[in-house]
Structure 1
Amino acid sequence: MEVHENVRRVMENRGLTQYRLAQLSGIPHSTLSTFLNGGVKNPSMEMVSKLAEVLDATTDYILGKTDVNLYDWLPSPKEEEEMNATKNPSYSNEQGFESDDILPIEELIKRRLTYKGYELTEEQKIKFGKLAEGIADLLG
């Protein structure tokens, strides 16, 4: 996938219009429009960095160097808003997980996982597992 296609996909997933993305990133709307329509084949790192920051994406993901966006497993603002409406402030440790337990990633994501008091969906658990594997690979 081309860089502009990656940006467009993330932009649409985040519910941002071109105009809003231009405002938030500080990139002129005309420049952003040309880029998103494929008119800029090699965007500057400054542009990529600004877009990645606004889109909650890594520059590697925007550039197509990886297919896992480290931020994807986090809930979107819309998902977080929906979760706030149904937040259960109490959490019991039903599975007896102790902080000293060491589990393989595959076992960990089978458990009930929460982030900021919200239970992760199966899709978010899978993304979390990929993120953890990526970190483990980096640490060697």
Structure 2
Amino acid sequence: MSTPHRLKSVREGFRTKDNKKLSGINVAKQLGITPQYYYDIEKGERTLSAETASKLADIFHTTTDYLLGKTDVNIYDWVGIIEEGEFHGVKESSVPYMHEKELFNKSLELSNEDIKDTFEFKIDGRELTEEEYQRMIAAVRAERLYRDQNQK
């Protein structure tokens, strides 16, 4: 989905805490731009700047990657929303990727190599080296062994 279509779709599907829709005028006010400028962005007639994309992601509780169409999964649909230090739960809107969400929530049994090949592990924006990855796996196993031994 292109950015303009995604942006309009996200705005039209978004609900505030009071379960109200956000108008383009309201979004424009939050961004500090004119409504016409915002609607031009939504129609693809103006370029979406990184700063505006970041602000929109905050407003709509999504990621910039989702707004820009780089991913079709809005992570906030899965992990929940925290506003002003308070957890507000996951979005209960009709998530188009519900099947994937159900699969993700089920137990996933993968070998160490499958995990490494399937997922990208980054900390502080840097991908883990092979040694760091192996230490991470070893740390989880050691913690589990310790927990198992102390529960008996």
Report the TM-score when normalising by structure 2: 0.50
How far 1:125 sits from its partner (Å)?
8.6
Counterparts in 2 of 1:124 and 1:71: CA distance versus 1, 3 Å: farther
Q: Which residue of 1 aligns with 2:34?
A: 28
**Do 1:2 and 1:64's aligned partners in 2 also have CA atoms closer than 8 Å?**
yes
* Structure of greater relative contact order (alpha carbons < 8 Å, 6+ residues apart): 1
How far 1:66 sits from its partner (Å)?
0.6
How far 1:127 sits from its partner (Å)?
6.5
Q: Matches of 1:51 and 1:38 in 2, distance apart?
A: 15
Structure ID, larger Rg: 2
Instruction: Specify every segment of 5 or more residues in structure 2 that has no aligned partner in the other structure, as ranges.
Output: 15-20, 82-87, 91-97, 109-117, 122-132, 134-152
1:129 to 2:104 alignment? yes
How far 1:4 sits from its partner (Å)?
1.2
Counterparts in 2 of 1:51 and 1:57: CA distance versus 1, 3 Å: same
Q: Matches of 2:104 and 2:29 in 1, distance apart?
A: 34
Instruction: Tell me how large the CA RMSD over aligned residues is.
Output: 3.3
Q: Matches of 2:34 and 2:103 in 1, distance apart?
A: 35
Report the TM-score when normalising by structure 1: 0.53
Counterparts in 2 of 1:50 and 1:66: CA distance versus 1, 3 Å: same
Q: Which residue of 1 aligns with 2:115?
A: none
How far 1:138 sits from its partner (Å)?
2.9
CA deviation digits over 1:49-99, x for unaligned, max 9? 1111111110001111111111123568xxxxxxx9xxxxxxxxxxxxxxx
SS in 1 for 2:44: coil
Q: Matches of 2:54 and 2:99 in 1, distance apart?
A: 25
How far 1:38 sits from its partner (Å)?
2.2
Query: Which residue type is aligned with residue 39 of structure 2?
Result: S
**Do 1:61 and 1:69's aligned partners in 2 also have CA atoms closer than 8 Å?**
yes
Counterparts in 2 of 1:128 and 1:31: CA distance versus 1, 3 Å: farther
CA deviation digits over 1:7-63, x for unaligned, max 9? 1111111121101111222232121011112212x3211111111111111000111
SS in 2 for 1:72: helix
Q: Which residue of 1 aligns with 2:56?
A: 51
How far 1:5 sits from its partner (Å)?
0.9
**Identity score, percent:** 30
**Do 1:73 and 1:125's aligned partners in 2 also have CA atoms closer than 8 Å?**
no
1:138 to 2:143 alignment? no
**Do 1:52 and 1:58's aligned partners in 2 also have CA atoms closer than 8 Å?**
yes
